[in-house]
Amino acid sequence: MNYQKLKQQLGKIKHCPIFYLKKPGCSRSTKLFPVINHLQTSQKYLIISSDPSGDTDKTKGPNIPHSDFSLRFLALIFFGNDTITETVVVFKNYSELNKIYRKHFYWTHYHKCYAQGNPNNFCAKKYLISEIQLFNPQLILSIGSKPVDFLLGKQKLKNRINRILNYNGVPLIASLHPSKNWNLSRRTVFSFTETWRLIRRNIQFDEEDYLFLHCFKEFKL
């Protein structure tokens, strides 16, 4: 990771001059600012989702979930499922689990502001390629079709899930976006559970992290 240059780029994204234009050319909501997530040098896995959640609140500290989606996502990372059982465990232990998550994962977006469910490629063309190059990930997780289509070319997501793809020599795994209940019925068709098993098999935590995670009966490799 080129930490200093990536930090500089994130500063440019945070203060994106395009944001203040009345007709910026991007697909953002006019009420929300760019979302920048925590970066630290120990991180080696890159998550790319389409755009930030509409309820994301970055004014909250690291010990409080910034959105409902963050609870579900941490449940998938650590427990491979995001039912109410796993999300309650994450909520009750959010500070400790988020600390482990932030140590290993950096989360960015195809579109840097909330785009009301329909982001275009404006931000991706401007920032995402260099962001990946500067981060130099060991593994890329593409959440939803937008990031993987941008990186590898347009194709049906069903043809890409539950397998290890390649982006310029970096392993990439694509998954159906888990954000809303409307797509629960699509998970079987998109091999959602199998894809997350594959993702979790390709993630390595530190020994001290494993000691903590094994305290939870929900943690199964």
Q: Classify residue 9: in a domain, yes or no.
A: yes
Q: Would 65 be classed as within a structural domain?
A: no
**Confidence at residue 103, expressed as pLDDT on a 0 to 100 scale:** 93
Hey, which residues does 105 pair with through a beta bridge?
45
pLDDT under 70: residue ranges of the chain = 16-34, 53-68, 114-117, 180-183, 221
Q: Which own/partner pairs from 96-102 qualify as long-range (CB within 8 Å, at least 24 positions apart)?
A: 96/212, 98/62, 98/63, 98/74, 99/62, 100/205, 100/209, 100/212, 100/213, 101/74, 101/77, 102/38, 102/40, 102/43, 102/62
Question: Domains in the chain: how many in total?
Answer: 1
Residue 197 structural domain? 3-13+31-54+100-139+147-208
Q: What pLDDT does 25 receive?
A: 53
CATH of the domain at 45: 3.40.470.10
Residue 24 located in a structural domain = no
Question: What are the structure tokens assigned to 208, written together?
Answer: 């001290």
pTM: 0.83
pLDDT in tens, 145-204: 889 999 999 999 889 989 999 999 999 999 888 876 666 777 777 888 888 889 999 999
Supply the pLDDT for residue 209: 92
Does a structural domain hold residue 77? no
| Closest to 161 measured CA to CA, from 178, 144, 183 | 144
pLDDT at 171: 96
Residue 85 lies in a domain: no
Q: Is 22 contained in some domain?
A: no
Determine, yes or no, domain membership for 81.
Answer: no
Position 54 scores a pLDDT of 61
On whether residue 180 sits in a domain, the answer given is yes
141 beta partners:
47, 173
